[in-house]
């Protein structure tokens, strides 16, 4: 979807980040270095998600008294790159809530 947004902006002569900021969910390290401007992302570590999932499975296999439903919250990370402009610039055009 991010590639589609970037392509549409290019086709419509919308400048990133001067006219619009682009932020994606999920980081694809191996492709972002090929895209300009580099894309700001909100990410959660797939490794950490897998590790926590494996821990829960092993706990349930070893202790049958653990409830079947668990809620686990992992803190996302914002990685700011070239595709997002400063809020002050956007605010001047009425598009940013501070």
Per-residue pLDDT tens for 58-76? 988 898 887 777 788 889 9
In our burial notation (b when 16+ CB lie closer than 10 A, e otherwise), range 30-50 reads eebeeeebebbbeeeeeeeee
- Please say if the pLDDT value at position 98 is more than 50: no
Share of the chain above pLDDT 70, in %: 82
DSSP state of 44: -
Q: 86 is written with which tokens?
A: 């400063």
> Would you call the peptide bond into 73 cis, given omega within 30 degrees of 0 as the criterion?
no
The most confident of the ranges 10-14, 32-36, 85-89 is: 10-14
* 3-class DSSP string for 59-79: HHHHCCCCCCCCCCCCCCEEE
If pLDDT is split at 50, 70 and 90, which confidence band does 92 have?
low
- Please say if the pLDDT value at position 96 is more than 60: no
């Amino acid at each position: 979807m991010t590639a589609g947004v970037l392509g549409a902006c290019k086709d419509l002569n919308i400048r990133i980040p001067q006219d619009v900021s682009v932020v994606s969910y999920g980081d694809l390290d191996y492709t972002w270095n090929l895209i300009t401007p580099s894309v700001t992302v909100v990410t959660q570590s797939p490794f950490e998600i897998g590790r926590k999932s494996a821990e829960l499975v092993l706990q349930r296999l070893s202790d049958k008294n653990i409830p079947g439903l668990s809620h686990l919250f992992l803190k996302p990370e914002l990685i700011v790159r070239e595709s997002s402009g400063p809020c002050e610039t956007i605010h001047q055009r009425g598009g940013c809530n501070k």
